[in-house]
């Protein structure tokens, strides 16, 4: 097997996202308050905090089955659970991590939250990206990480 190396000179500038490393990230700003409220509401309401019913599918198991509706009408419906508040806030570099490692940890957390379509924001120094979700929001946050300077 042969390995060949060369210098790559693309015709247009390219963004290089930080490597994804699992590790701690800081949560700052108004996101902390929203996350605390969501956690307290989850603890207060427990498993009864559901937002809607949809037709039951066998792969969902019996734990999500709406038993009261089954007893009343005989129809099989599943409970769909959602948090009323976003669970994550404004993500920021962890203060104890070196800059490059902190960016890598943010990259991993953003990718993780992006897969779950959860709401989060990003704060890098003076730059603040407000809470949001979806692919475009994830790409905007990763772009900010790629362009971040110490």
3-class secondary-structure state, position 130: strand
Model confidence pLDDT, tens digit, residues 100-150: 999 999 999 999 998 888 899 999 989 999 999 999 999 999 999 999 987
**Nearest C-alpha neighbor of 150 from the set 104, 98, 111:** 98
- 89 with 29: CB under 8 angstroms? yes
Confidence band of 66 (pLDDT split at 50, 70, 90): confident
For the ranges 45-54, 84-93, 135-144, the maximum mean pLDDT occurs at 135-144
Task: Please state the length of the chain.
Answer: 150
Residue 70 has pLDDT above 70, yes or no: yes
- 76 with 63: CB under 8 angstroms? no
Confidence band of 2 (pLDDT split at 50, 70, 90): confident
Lookup: tokens for 6 = 């060369």
For the ranges 34-38, 61-65, 83-87, the maximum mean pLDDT occurs at 61-65
Measured CA to CA in angstroms, residue 53 lies from 32, 86, 150 at distances of 30, 21, 48
User: Rounded to an integer, what distance in angstroms lies between the CA atom of residue 81 and that of residue 37?
Assistant: 17
């Amino acid at each position: 097997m042969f390995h060949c190396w060369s210098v790559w000179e693309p015709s247009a500038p390219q963004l290089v996202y930080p490597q994804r490393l699992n590790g701690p990230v800081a949560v700052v700003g108004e996101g902390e308050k929203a996350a605390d409220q969501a956690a307290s509401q989850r603890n207060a309401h427990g498993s009864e905090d559901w937002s809607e019913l949809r037709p039951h599918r066998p792969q969902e198991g019996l734990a999500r089955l709406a038993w009261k509706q089954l007893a009343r009408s005989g129809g099989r419906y599943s409970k769909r659970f959602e948090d009323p508040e976003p669970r994550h806030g404004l993500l920021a570099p962890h203060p104890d991590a070196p800059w490059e490692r902190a960016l890598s940890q943010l990259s991993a957390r953003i990718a993780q939250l992006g897969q779950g379509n959860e709401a989060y924001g990003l704060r890098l120094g003076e730059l603040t990206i407000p809470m949001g979700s979806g692919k475009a929001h994830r790409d905007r946050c990763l772009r900010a990480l790629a362009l971040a300077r110490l």
